[in-house]
Amino acid sequence: MAVRTAEPADPSVQRLAVRTTQAAFAIALAHGVTDAYVGFLAPLLPDLMDKHGLSIARAASLAMLLSLATSFPQPFLGYLADRVGRKPFVLLGPALSAVFLSLIGLAPSYPLLVALLLVGGLGAAAFHPPGASLATRVADGRGSGVRLSIFSFGGAAGYAVGPFMAVTTVAAFGLGGLWLAMIPGLVLCLALWPLVPGGAADGRAPRPPMPLEVIRTLGGPLGLLFGISALSAFVQRTFLTLEPIIVDQAGGSQNARALALTLYLGAQALGTLTSGVLTDRMDRGRLMVILTLLGAPAHFLALTLPPGSPGGVVAILAAGFLNMALLPPIVVMAQELLPTGAAVGAGIVMGLAWSVASVALMVPGWLGDLYGPVRAGQLCAPVLLLGTLLALHPALRRGPAAG
């Protein structure tokens, strides 16, 4: 009986695997840099409210404007990145966020504060669609969920570190010294430049779909994914905006506010890693049904239970985990629906959906002024159950990618 021996590995394949792994971790780290600076605003909202004399509704408008700047331009920038190359967007975007979002403590007026948030948010918008498409590469087949989860983990980890980075810098140097926090971000962006793929490889990519073609797909499964993503983002942004105010009104310190956000965002990092594996192994529609069905009560409890209590901590961890676990199935399915425009697909279900959620942030801000931040959160959290209804649609009953 003949014995089959393993063929020696092709050195070129091994080199490609090493480069791909390096690129995946480089893009994930760039994602962490970007989202760390976006995470500066939430824990500093009470300080900015005091400095500029802002109401809860006006503070919520700051969070809304930053979210809009980081999300609304994403489909357009994703389309541009698909056409001209993704590498500059992936590294210059984080640098832009690092500079302008580190300057918010120096803003002498509300209009200038808004301007800094808008420009800094634009850097994050430039990064996300090309970053997700480079990291995921759905055309490579099975495993795209895991690759997307690594990318998302980087962002969630950065978002979790951001609040503590902000409050630690402010505690040491004052609100006006927050600008010093831009230095590590800029250094990392320079160091990552040679590790991120780009250049000629991008130029050989297929031409992305025309805008009208993309709009037509919103009438089908892509529109359902858009809705689920918008609802998930709304509940997440409601928590991130109201929780620091809830902790502050309960007598919590600046560190306590940052801790609540870090717990939530750190759990999001674990959620996206777990969901990335599940996205490649189970029916994605069923996965989204489970996550939205459990996510609504988890957010309700996270915003209701006393800050710092054991039950409150468990609820915050569960809410964060379930919320970000929705991202891998949503983004991978969107990119599969638009295989020649992966950055566009990611921009729609991330950027465009998140921008809708950002506009809706005025609702919890208005409710917070009327009824208080806790009641506002209780009224907003259940809307995630609408995502359960969308996820039950037969068009989303799709299994993992073959490969």
pLDDT tens digits for range 127-185: 887 887 777 654 444 445 666 777 878 888 888 889 889 999 999 999 999 999 999 99
Count the Cβ atoms, other than its own, within 10 Å of residue 67: 29
pLDDT at 402: 43
Is pLDDT larger for residue 188 or for residue 219?
A: 188
Which residues contact residue 30 at a Cβ distance below 8 angstroms, ignoring those fewer than 6 apart? 90, 91, 94, 127, 131, 154, 188, 189, 192, 196
pLDDT tens digits for range 53-84: 988 888 888 988 998 898 888 877 877 877 77
The answer to whether domain 19-396 has CATH 3.30.930.10 is no
pLDDT at 315: 97
Extract the tokens encoding 196: 């991120």
Q: Give alpha helix (H) positions in 305-384.
A: 310-324, 327-337, 342-346, 353-360, 362-371, 373-380
The answer on pLDDT for 200 being more than 50 is no
Share of the chain above pLDDT 70, in %: 83
Q: What share of the chain is helix, strand, coil (3-state, %, to 5)?
A: 80, 0, 20
pLDDT at 48: 92
Q: How far apart are the first and last CA of the chain?
A: 31
Q: What is the mean pLDDT of the chain?
A: 83
Contact criterion met (CB below 8 Å) for 29 and 187: no
The count of residues in the chain is 403
Q: What's this model's pTM, rounded to 2 decimal places?
A: 0.74
DSSP state of 325: T
pLDDT at 17: 54
The answer on pLDDT for 102 being more than 90 is yes
Averaging pLDDT over each range in 154-163, 227-236, 251-260, which range is the top one?
Answer: 227-236
Greatest Cα pair distance in the chain:
84
The answer on pLDDT for 215 being more than 70 is no
Which residues contact residue 249 at a Cβ distance below 8 angstroms, ignoring those fewer than 6 apart? 372, 373
The answer on pLDDT for 15 being more than 80 is no
CA 298/CA 312 separation, integer angstroms: 10
pLDDT at 400: 52
CA 370/CA 274 separation, integer angstroms: 38
CA 61/CA 383 separation, integer angstroms: 20
CA dihedral 273, 274, 277, 278 (to 10 degrees): -140
Instruction: Please report which confidence band the pLDDT of residue 352 belongs to, taking 50, 70 and 90 as the band edges.
Output: confident
Is pLDDT larger for residue 196 or for residue 188?
A: 188
The answer on pLDDT for 362 being more than 90 is no
Residue found under tokens 């980087």: 154
Contact criterion met (CB below 8 Å) for 48 and 104: yes
pLDDT at 214: 64
Domain ranges for the chain, please list them: 19-396
Q: Report in angstroms the alpha-carbon separations of 368 from 93, 234, 236, 393.
A: 33, 15, 16, 33
Share of the chain above pLDDT 90, in %: 40
Write out the DSSP string of 84-137: H-SHHHHHHHHHHHHHHHTTGGG--SHHHHHHHHHHHHHHHHHHHHHHHHHHH-
Nearest to 249 by CA among 375, 163, 107, 380: 375
Q: Report in angstroms the alpha-carbon separations of 390 from 14, 274, 369, 383.
A: 42, 22, 31, 12
